[in-house]
């Protein structure tokens, strides 16, 4: 019987052929912690009596949620990770000096790659599946177990095959594709499954698009998202100092899938997820008709804080002004992205238009800082969740969209089709 790419990755790691539904103990190539979740892992690690990391080079800590510290509590929280990293001489520790949002920074550093098994104590760890890896979020104590043993237990997930066809339009992105999938199947439609993205559309999708799609697989309840290795993957990795040689797998033609979804991407408009679920998707045409006034536009997060997001935003904002009633906040995913965007002139365009650019941080996405919404405020945001109170006040509303829509809406003050901005 044929295997999916996910089954093949686990088979290689455990040293025998395995299929969906089997419980396996697998070694882990990269364990990822951040300033919110790692202190819990460190506490569990120390309580166990462990005195060494099983795989020090396979453990990364990225301080990205509240760095620079927003208050005393977050400063003390970060100190726990800093002290641990110093004590164990952790090579892959990233603080203000080399900062970035973890799911943008690790691919940039070459620390995750094809064929890897990756876990992180952050639900959006599934982002790294865009590099043809199995990558998933787990709890902080699960991380501690991996820190101590170098592995963990997994139930090999069944896969949903997503067949994407056609070339996307100019303002249709990976964000719109995943929002459409979530609209189709709901927030629990892929519960503990892998979303395997396939079809001729994949050749038209940049790595940034693929990262967005895999990032939001969790919003459909998925254990992971994955895209097979191809020329675009190879090009992305070509200038990276890879931690491990790529291990490339492809699904067999006779592999077993629990479900198949088909989407004509060529006919897909930009998708806007209305409050208060990522599954509450509507077309941009419907959103325009609904005349949705906004107070804030946000471009950033581990979903859409990459260079292509800043590029499209700058193209739309060039020689324009942000609406007088709107705040535009832009958060690059990493310092490297910020520097490249600055070199290419994107930052000047955004600032000249009236936008503000922050340091790389997850802060606004989770309603922590650097863009919190007040009572009854409305935002269009490139983030991944729009639950009640997600970005601030429980009476605020968040509409999820791609970066082009967010930039266009910042100019007009209402959710706007970017194709109409001249």
DSSP string computed for 191-207: TTEEEEEESGGGGG--H
Does one domain contain both 236 and 145?
A: yes
User: Could you tell me the two tokens for 139?
Assistant: 């709890």
Does one domain contain both 80 and 213?
A: yes
Does one domain contain both 55 and 175?
A: yes
Does one domain contain both 362 and 226?
A: no
Query: How far is 157 from 8, CA to CA, in rounded Å?
Result: 12
Query: How far is 380 from 65, CA to CA, in rounded Å?
Result: 20
The confidence score (pLDDT) of residue 1 equals 86
Does one domain contain both 282 and 196?
A: no
Q: Which alpha helices (H) appear in 186-294, and where do they start and end?
A: 207-215, 231-237, 284-290
Nearest to 263 by CA among 183, 207, 383, 382: 183
Pairing of strands 23-27, 158-165: unpaired
The confidence score (pLDDT) of residue 289 equals 98
Q: Could you tell me the pTM of the whole model? A: 0.95
Beta carbons within 10 angstroms of residue 41's beta carbon = 27
As to burial, measured by CB atoms within 10 angstroms (0-12 exposed, 13-18 middle, 19+ buried), residue 68 is middle
Q: What is the mean pLDDT of residues 171-192?
A: 97
Query: How far is 55 from 119, CA to CA, in rounded Å?
Result: 13
Q: What is the mean pLDDT of residues 96-113?
A: 95
Model confidence pLDDT, tens digit, residues 28-59: 999 999 999 999 999 999 999 999 999 999 99
CB of 381 within 8 A of CB of 275?
no
pLDDT at 184 over 90: yes
Does one domain contain both 201 and 75?
A: yes
Does one domain contain both 289 and 400?
A: yes
CB of 371 within 8 A of CB of 329?
yes
Does one domain contain both 257 and 293?
A: no
Query: How far is 73 from 75, CA to CA, in rounded Å?
Result: 5
Tell me which of 263, 296, 325 is where a domain ends.
Answer: 263
Nearest to 386 by CA among 140, 177, 182, 224: 182
The confidence score (pLDDT) of residue 422 equals 86
Model confidence pLDDT, tens digit, residues 110-138: 999 999 999 999 999 999 999 999 999 99
CA 15 from centroid of its chain's CA atoms:
30
Model confidence pLDDT, tens digit, residues 219-277: 999 999 999 999 999 999 999 999 999 999 999 999 999 999 999 999 999 999 999 99
pLDDT at 204 over 90: yes
Does one domain contain both 114 and 163?
A: yes
CB of 294 within 8 A of CB of 96?
no
Number of domains in the chain: 2
Q: pLDDT > 90: what percent of the chain?
A: 99
Tell me which of 263, 292, 309 is where a domain ends.
Answer: 263
Q: What is the mean pLDDT of residues 139-165?
A: 97
Crossing angle for the helix pair 72-87 and 38-47, to the nearest 10 degrees? 50
Residue whose token pair is 């949002």: 101
Does one domain contain both 230 and 116?
A: yes
Does one domain contain both 256 and 275?
A: no
Q: Residue length, the chain? A: 422
Does one domain contain both 89 and 231?
A: yes
- Reported in sequence order, the residue ranges of 319-395 that DSSP labels E, i.e. its strands, are 327-330, 356-357, 378-381
Domain that holds residue 186: 5-244+252-263
Beta carbons within 10 angstroms of residue 303's beta carbon = 31
Beta carbons within 10 angstroms of residue 51's beta carbon = 9
* CATH code, domain with 277: 3.30.499.10
């Amino acid at each position: 019987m044929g295997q999916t790419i996910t089954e093949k990755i686990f088979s290689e790691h455990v040293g025998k052929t395995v299929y969906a539904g089997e419980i396996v103990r697998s070694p882990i190539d990269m364990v990822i912690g951040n300033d919110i979740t790692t202190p819990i892992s460190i506490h569990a690690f120390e309580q166990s009596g462990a005195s060494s990391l099983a795989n020090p080079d396979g453990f990364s800590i990225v301080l990205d949620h509240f760095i620079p510290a927003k208050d005393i509590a977050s400063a003390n929280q970060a100190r726990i990770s800093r002290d641990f990293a110093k004590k164990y001489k952790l090579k892959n520790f990233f603080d203000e000096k080399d900062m970035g949002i973890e799911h943008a920074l690790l691919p940039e550093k070459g620390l995750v790659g094809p064929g890897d098994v990756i876990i992180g104590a952050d639900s959006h760890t599934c982002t790294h599946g865009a590099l043809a890896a199995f990558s998933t979020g787990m709890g902080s104590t699960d991380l501690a177990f991996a820190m101590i043993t170098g592995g963990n237990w997994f139930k090999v997930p069944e896969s949903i095959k997503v067949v994407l066809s056609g070339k996307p339009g100019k303002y249709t992105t990976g964000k719109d594709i995943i929002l459409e999938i979530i609209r189709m199947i709901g927030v629990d439609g892929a519960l503990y499954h892998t979303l395997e993205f396939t079809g001729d559309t994949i050749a038209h999708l940049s790595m940034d698009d693929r990262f967005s799609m895999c990032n939001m697989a969790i919003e459909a309840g998925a254990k992971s998202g994955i895209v097979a290795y191809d020329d675009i993957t190879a090009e992305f990795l070509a200038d990276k100092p890879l931690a491990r040689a790529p291990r490339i797998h492809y699904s067999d033609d006779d592999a077993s899938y629990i479900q198949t979804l088909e989407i004509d991407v060529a006919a897909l408009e930009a998708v806007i997820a209305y409050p208060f679920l990522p599954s509450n998707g509507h077309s941009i045409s419907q959103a325009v008709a609904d005349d949705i006034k906004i107070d804030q536009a946000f471009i950033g997060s581990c979903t859409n804080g990459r260079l292509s997001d800043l590029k499209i935003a700058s193209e739309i904002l060039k020689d324009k002004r942000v609406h007088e009633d709107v705040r535009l906040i832009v958060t690059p995913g990493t310092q490297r992205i910020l520097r490249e965007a600055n070199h290419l002139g994107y930052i000047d365009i955004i600032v000249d238009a009236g936008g503000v650019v922050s340091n790389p941080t997850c802060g606004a996405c989770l309603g922590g800082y650097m863009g919190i919404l007040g009572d009854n405020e409305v935002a269009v945001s490139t983030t991944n969740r729009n639950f009640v109170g997600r970005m601030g006040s429980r009476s605020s509303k968040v509409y999820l969209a791609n970066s082009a829509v967010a930039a266009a809406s910042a100019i007009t003050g209402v959710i706007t089709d970017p194709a109409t901005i001249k």
